């Protein structure tokens, strides 16, 4: 096997010749990488805002206590890998529910609804998010045909138990952390290897997964934009012209939780972020995120995080 590297305008051309079969890989070397580390310690969480900003690859380290709503039901256009390092993570992805342990991987297809909760002993995991624009640079030319690594029509299985893919993902994270010479090329080579194995072994042939439909997309976007308003099950179901009971049934079917619980958790997480980043009074924060009473807000906050809002402000 002959391996030749040619560099031109920050693009790497790789030619591999084996017998009469030629593979040409065109790999963009201009990657923007970002690593976000935050831990869940003493039953509360620190969430950087905003999380995704013009990065090709984002690496997030998560550490949650027991029975913590690690990931609220949500979706995005990005491709995501959840890589469990320690403990247990109870995940829902599409219509699949699975208990993940060390060595397991959750693959999240674009537009696929997913959520997670830590197990009784807590959990540590990495989230590795790949942006859509990577497909413009990460293309492989085989027999004069370019194959995108992120084709919209191909869906991969959500549960991945594959030692090689696990090692490759950890290698990507390690290269990103250490940033040694030519680390971008190592990362992109690893990404290509990951998707090669996904294509070979993990294409979802009987795809009946739950993907976010247009209506629920609009509903979740509306909640994100109006969580601080006085929105109720009645008002939001009327806004989207749903019968109330039908709205509740559809919302729980797709998200795995009730509208009221979803809204409450979202408001609490917004409040936590404000507590950590500003000096606003707790009563003002409670109103800002949609709670009418600061006492009620404090009770819910303690129930969810195991800490009082005043403790978070004191320790920021």
Handedness of CA 120, 65, 93, 149 (dihedral sign): negative
**Domains recognised in the chain with CATH numbers:** 33-138+145-201 (2.60.120.10), 214-314 (1.10.10.60)
Q: How many CA atoms lie within 13 A of 313 on its CB side?
A: 15
Confidence of residue 231 (pLDDT cuts 50, 70, 90): very high
CA distance 29 to 243: 52
The answer to whether 202 and 155 are in contact (CB under 8 A) is no
pLDDT of residue 167: 97
Higher pLDDT, 92 or 73: 92
- pLDDT (tens digit per residue) in 162-206: 999 999 999 999 998 888 998 888 988 998 899 999 989 999 876
Of 134, 146, 135, 136, nearest in space to 23 by CA: 146
Burial class (CB in 10 A: 0-12, 13-18, 19+), 274: buried
pLDDT tens-digit readout, 84-126: 999 999 998 877 889 999 999 999 988 787 888 899 888 999 9
Least confident of 4-8, 156-160, 212-216, 302-306: 4-8
Return d(Cα 182, Cα 298) in angstroms, integer.
50
Q: What confidence category does residue 77 fall into, taking pLDDT thresholds of 50, 70 and 90? A: confident
pLDDT above 50: residue 207? yes
Share of the chain above pLDDT 70, in %: 72
Share of the chain above pLDDT 90, in %: 34
Confidence of residue 132 (pLDDT cuts 50, 70, 90): low
Residue 71's pLDDT band (boundaries 50, 70, 90)? confident
- The answer to whether the CB of 23 falls within 8 A of the CB of 140 is yes
Question: How do residues 253-295 score in pLDDT, each as one tens digit?
Answer: 777 778 998 899 889 888 988 888 888 999 999 999 999 899 9
Which helix (H) or strand (E) is 123 found in, with range?
A: strand 114-130
Model pLDDT, residue 60: 83
pLDDT of residue 176: 85
Task: Determine the pLDDT at residue 314.
Answer: 66
Crossing angle of the two packed helices 259-277 and 294-305, in degrees rounded to 10: 90
pLDDT band at 296 (very low <50, low <70, confident <90, very high): very high
Ramachandran category for residue 208: left, alpha or beta (phi over 0 → left; psi -120 to 50 → alpha):
alpha
Q: Is residue 44 predicted with pLDDT exceeding 70?
A: no
Provide the pLDDT for residue 16: 30
How far apart are alpha carbons 136 and 240 in whole angstroms? 37
**Poorest-pLDDT segment among 54-63, 188-197, 198-207, 219-228:** 54-63
Higher per-residue pLDDT: 44 or 189: 189
Indicate the pTM of the whole model. 0.60
What's the pLDDT score for residue 1? 33
Query: What are φ and ψ of residue 228, in 5° steps?
Result: -85, -10
Report DSSP state, residue 161: -
pLDDT of residue 306: 74
């Amino acid at each position: 096997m002959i391996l030749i590297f040619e560099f031109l305008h920050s693009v790497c051309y790789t030619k591999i010749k084996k017998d009469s079969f030629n593979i040409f890989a065109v790999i963009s070397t201009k990657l923007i990488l970002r690593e976000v580390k935050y831990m869940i310690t003493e039953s509360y969480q620190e969430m950087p805002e905003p999380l995704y900003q013009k990065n090709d690859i984002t690496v997030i380290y998560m550490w949650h206590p027991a029975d913590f709503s690690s990931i609220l039901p949500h979706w995005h256009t990005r491709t995501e890998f959840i890589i469990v390092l320690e403990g247990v993570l109870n995940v829902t992805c599409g219509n699949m529910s699975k208990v993940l342990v060390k060595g397991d991987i959750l693959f999240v297809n674009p537009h696929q609804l997913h959520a997670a909760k830590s197990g009784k002993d807590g959990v540590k995991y990495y989230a590795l998010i790949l942006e859509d624009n990577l497909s413009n640079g990460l293309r492989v030319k085989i027999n004069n045909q370019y194959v995108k690594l992120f084709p919209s029509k191909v869906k991969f299985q959500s549960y991945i138990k594959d030692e090689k893919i696990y090692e490759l993902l950890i290698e990507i994270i390690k290269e990103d952390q250490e940033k040694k010479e030519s680390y971008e090329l190592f990362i992109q080579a690893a990404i290509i290897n990951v998707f090669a194995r996904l294509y070979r072994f993990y294409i979802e042939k009987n795809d009946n997964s739950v993907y976010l439909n247009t209506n629920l997309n609009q509903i979740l976007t509306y909640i994100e934009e109006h969580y601080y308003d006085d929105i109720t099950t009645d008002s939001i179901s009327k806004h989207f012209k749903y019968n109330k009971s039908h709205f509740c049934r559809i919302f729980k079917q797709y998200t795995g939780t009730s509208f009221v619980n979803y809204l409450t958790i979202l408001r609490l997480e917004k409040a936590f972020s404000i507590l950590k980043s500003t000096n606003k009074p707790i009563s003002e924060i409670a109103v800002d995120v949609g709670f009418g009473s600061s006492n009620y807000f404090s009770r819910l906050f303690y129930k969810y995080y195991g800490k009082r809002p005043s403790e978070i402000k004191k320790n920021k």
